Amino acid sequence: MKMLINVPETVVADALRGMAAAHPDLTVDVENRVIVRRDAPMHGQVALVSGGGSGHEPLHGGFVGPGMLSAACPGEVFTSPVPDQMVRAAAAVDSGAGVLFVVKNYTGDVLNFDMAAELAEDEGIQVAKVLVNDDVAVTDSLFTAGRRGTGATLFVEKIAGAAAAEGRPLEQVEAMARRVNENSRSFGVALSAVTTPAKGSPTFDLPDGELELGIGIHGEPGRERRPMMTSGEIADFAVHAILEDMPPHNPVLLLVNGMGATPLLELYGFNAEVQRVLAERGVAVVRTLVGNYVTSLDMAGASVTLCQVDEEMLGLWDAPVRTPALRWGM
């Protein structure tokens, strides 16, 4: 496989060096693998810290900045960061108002963030944790006990980040993050397998002419494998799976997310089909985001995430944000 890298062993460090050069408003500690907004800590504000394996960019480092995350901890490719990274990040951004850990439901992430929370509290940092588990495709997987955390992570980090920027106390920011997660559901589809730098070849076999319905962001198996479907058929399947699990009583935010190798031409066409299905089901879409936000290296495919919102949540979504990957209102 051809990749734009030097050697697999330095791919994360090289990316972090490039990120530092591109975004001077971030402080990027390449050696210790911590990305912090340069103006942290923000006096009187709750800090948000998240992280996970690399390979899902822009998640999480691309979401560090005003109105969203205070810091992010990148692990090796598809590998959880270690507790020392999380403690270092929490110490760098804590203003005394507390730190909220946003954790995707993958076993390594959960265990390491739990340990980091204990260590941070030993250092006098008040910590709360929110687990993101929005994926309706499967209950358990190769990487999780319970549902996987996927696209809703973006909604949690943005809306809770806006609540923190308003100066809300830790318990309210945590409650808002939980509310967003509880009102979000996702479903993903893979059109090709993912290739990690270390392996240099596809991590699973997905024959030409087939797709995997319900895939995870590490290439975990989904619900079933089928012959290739049209964009409209995939939209019907994905939206049905989500609405079967969460019949919305409020308008929704919609994320049509690329898995890394699907061009925007296709993603916008897929968005048109998703919007069609939602309209047919009587679901009102108040905001739409289309693009690569929670990726899986070079996997072709897409995921759909819905978050039903009230006026307060929508206002927090619309609040100003300035990060490498999300930027509006500033």
Q: Which residues are catalytic?
A: 56, 218
DSSP 74-116: EEEETSPPPHHHHHHHHHHH--SS-EEEEEES-HHHHHHHHHH
Estimate the share of the chain in helix, then strand, then coil, as percent rounded to the nearest 5: 35, 25, 40
Amino acid at 166: E
Tokens of residue 25, six digits? 């408003």
Is the torsion defined by CA of 271, 23, 68, 120 positive or negative? positive
Task: Determine contact, residues 183/215, Cβ cutoff 8 Å.
Answer: no
DSSP 192-254: S--B-TTT-SBSS---TTEEEET--TT----SEEEE---HHHHHHHHHHHHHHH---SS-EEE
